Amino acid sequence: MTHIIADISVSLDGFVTGSDPGADNGLGTGGEALHTWAFSDDPDDRRVLREGTVRSGAVVLGRRLFDLVDGPNGWDDQVGYGAREVGKPAFVVVTSAPPKSVRLDALDWTFVTTGLSDAVTTARECAEAAPSDSGNDLDVVLMGGGATIGSAFDAGLVDVLSLHLAPVVLGAGTPLFTGGPPRTLAQRSVTSTSTATHLTYDVL
């Protein structure tokens, strides 16, 4: 069964970027510390990254995050979704209008202009159609940004919440949660390393 998994790194005080994020300061001031774990050589960090990306049949992201990763200082062969670990899943971008051009044209991009729910549906169809080396069903991963994941969570679109809690207090930035209805979670797993505490919850 294909699940919708919200997967994001977050600070101890609940921010997914530092202050003043933007095209020239993608993760905001101090925000790079949130993703130290993804570049770690710790075997548990590598396993968490590998398992998370191997299960990805499709990835959903918002337009602001797309503009960062496709921008001149964005992803390349060494830095990107699942770099060094897996192949290239389909990417579905929630946007009001598709971009005029795409720098990362070797990736499979779909731009959905009819809202987040439709984007998740499109991503689910991509994941269900994607081949799996393991023979298991592949999942849809919501990689962000924070507003996209928060909106999906509030709308009841998320089955699993996967947080990578970085040992940093940013003080300001983009919050992951800004309100919305209360939700009950069931803790599935906890993995602690020197760079993060990896938390997985089923959303009930």
Structural domain boundaries in the chain:
4-13+28-203
Angle between helices 146-154 and 116-129 (to 10 degrees): 90
pLDDT tens over the chain, length 204 residues: 999 999 999 999 999 999 988 777 778 999 999 999 999 999 999 999 989 888 899 999 999 999 989 988 888 777 777 555 555 799 999 999 999 999 988 889 999 999 999 999 999 999 999 877 767 899 999 998 899 999 999 999 999 999 999 999 999 999 999 888 888 899 999 999 999 999 999 999
pLDDT value at position 106?
Answer: 85
- Where does 108-202 have alpha helices with state H? 116-129, 146-154
Strand partners for 142: 6, 60
Q: Residue 45: how many CA atoms within 13 Å on its side-chain side?
A: 18
The structure tokens listed for 46 are 């590598």
Judge whether 148 and 157 are in contact, CB under 8 Å. no
**Single pTM value for the model:** 0.91
**Phi, psi angle pair for 155, to nearest 5°:** -85, 0
In this structure, the strands spanning 15-17 and 56-62 are unpaired
CATH of domain 4-13+28-203: 3.40.430.10
In this structure, the strands spanning 174-175 and 15-17 are antiparallel
Report how far residue 171's alpha carbon sits from residue 44's, in angstroms, rounded to the nearest whole number. 28
Give the three-class secondary structure for 68: helix
In this structure, the strands spanning 4-10 and 139-144 are parallel
| CA-wise closest residue to 116 among 138, 147, 90, 139 | 147
Report how far residue 32's alpha carbon sits from residue 8's, in angstroms, rounded to the nearest whole number. 13
Report how far residue 70's alpha carbon sits from residue 80's, in angstroms, rounded to the nearest whole number. 10
Judge whether 181 and 144 are in contact, CB under 8 Å. no
The structure tokens listed for 201 are 């919850």
Judge whether 16 and 9 are in contact, CB under 8 Å. yes
pLDDT value at position 80?
Answer: 74
